[in-house]
């Protein structure tokens, strides 16, 4: 018996990384899903792999009509929608405040924030009628603390997602709908490659490199993996989390907990040596 037996979910940004792995695990846990992405070939291939429990719809998550149609497809084909995972995203312009381009700022906000709003807007009426549902929005530790993204725009957008999640949770919770976010830490996906301007297919191949780069970033001595976020999403989509609402679930191996123990101890030793030299 799966943890999501009988549930219907919509997952955006499902053609790679976190979204793809979440789709696979949701189906393995018994869910029927509708997945969305901009790349038709990849989305259709994943739907074929996952079988009749999965449908794909090519979707631009920034366009309201397309998001409305995506949510409607789940209800049309499977009769209900129990979970929406607003996972779609992407990199934003890097650099300082003086060099930001308005058009690129607006595009990033549309992808990272407007899409989340649209998903919630169009899932909410169906969930209200059911009297239940779980909405999960993909946040980031960059939305909680400055300095965890190469893009201040990305950090600001994710902060908006986290707070919008709380605001909507206070409203929809009264109708039995839970709204939470997940804030990943250093997860080995292709997003850094995309931020560096690599073509999508090339960027997706950089995850193995990021595993090495990130493995010492937090106390747990490995990089975060898409599986880590996917399993957190399963928990929030399941009835196991039925009293969790308006929460930002941080999945970061404690990278935001403070300085790593060995770094702090090394600093302490260096300070003692400096004091000893000063007293000589």
198-238 pLDDT, tens digit per residue, is: 566 665 666 677 778 888 889 999 999 999 999 999 999 99
pLDDT (tens digit, 9 = 90+) per residue, 33-60? Answer: 999 999 999 999 999 999 999 999 999 9
The pLDDT assigned to 267 comes to 83
- Domains in the chain, ordered, with CATH? 8-279 (3.40.50.720)
User: Is pLDDT of 188 > 90?
Assistant: no
The pLDDT assigned to 31 comes to 98
The pLDDT assigned to 268 comes to 82
DSSP class of residue 224 equals B
User: Is pLDDT of 77 > 80?
Assistant: yes
Angle (CA) 137-141-145 rounded to 5° is 130
Residue 85 belongs to what H/E stretch?
Answer: strand 83-86
Q: What percent of the chain is predicted at pLDDT more than 90?
A: 81
How would residue 7 be classed by pLDDT, with cut points 50, 70 and 90?
very high
CB atoms near residue 225 (< 10 Å): 18
Phi/psi at 10 (5° precision): -115, 130
Q: Do the beta carbons of residue 80 and residue 126 sit within 8 Å?
A: yes
What average pLDDT score do residues 161-188 get?
Answer: 97
- Sequence-distant (≥ 6) Cβ neighbours of residue 234 within 8 angstroms: 3, 4, 22, 25, 26, 29
126 is catalytic: no
Q: Where are the beta strands (DSSP E) in 106-213?
A: 133-138, 177-184
The pLDDT assigned to 262 comes to 87
Q: What is the torsion angle, in degrees rounded to the nearest 10, for the CA atoms of residue 155, residue 115, residue 74 and residue 7? A: 20
The mean pLDDT value of the chain amounts to 93
The pLDDT assigned to 75 comes to 98
DSSP class of residue 221 equals S
User: Is pLDDT of 271 > 90?
Assistant: no
The pLDDT assigned to 196 comes to 57
What SS3 state is found at 134?
Answer: strand
């Amino acid at each position: 018996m799966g943890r999501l037996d009988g549930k219907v979910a919509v997952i955006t940004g499902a053609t790679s990384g976190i979204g793809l792995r979440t789709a696979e695990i949701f189906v393995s846990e018994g869910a029927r899903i509708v997945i969305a992405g901009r790349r038709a070939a990849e989305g259709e291939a994943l739907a074929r792999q996952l079988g009749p429990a999965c449908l794909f719809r090519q979707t631009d998550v920034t366009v309201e009509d397309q998001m409305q149609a995506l949510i409607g497809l789940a209800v049309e084909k499977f009769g209900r929608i129990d979970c929406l995972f607003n996972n779609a995203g992407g990199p934003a312009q890097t650099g300082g405040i003086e060099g930001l381009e308005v058009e690129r700022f607006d595009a990033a906000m549309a992808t990272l924030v407007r899409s989340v709003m649209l998903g919630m807007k169009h899932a909410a009426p169906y969930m209200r009628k059911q009297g239940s549902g779980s909405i999960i929005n993909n946040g980031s530790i960059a939305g909680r603390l400055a300095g965890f993204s190469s893009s201040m725009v990305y950090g600001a957008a994710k902060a908006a997602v986290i707070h919008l999640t709380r605001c909507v949770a206070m409203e929809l919770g009264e109708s039995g709908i839970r709204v939470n976010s997940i804030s990943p830490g250093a997860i080995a996906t292709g997003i850094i490659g995309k931020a560096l301007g690599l073509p999508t297919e090339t960027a997706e191949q950089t995850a193995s490199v990021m595993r090495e780069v990130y493995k010492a970033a937090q106390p747990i001595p490995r990089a975060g993996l898409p599986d880590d976020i996917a399993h957190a999403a399963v928990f929030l989509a399941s009835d196991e989390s039925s009293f969790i609402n308006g929460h930002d679930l941080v999945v970061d191996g404690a990278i935001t907990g403070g300085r790593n123990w060995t770094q702090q101890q090394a600093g302490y030793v260096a300070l003692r040596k400096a004091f000893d030299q000063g007293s000589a």
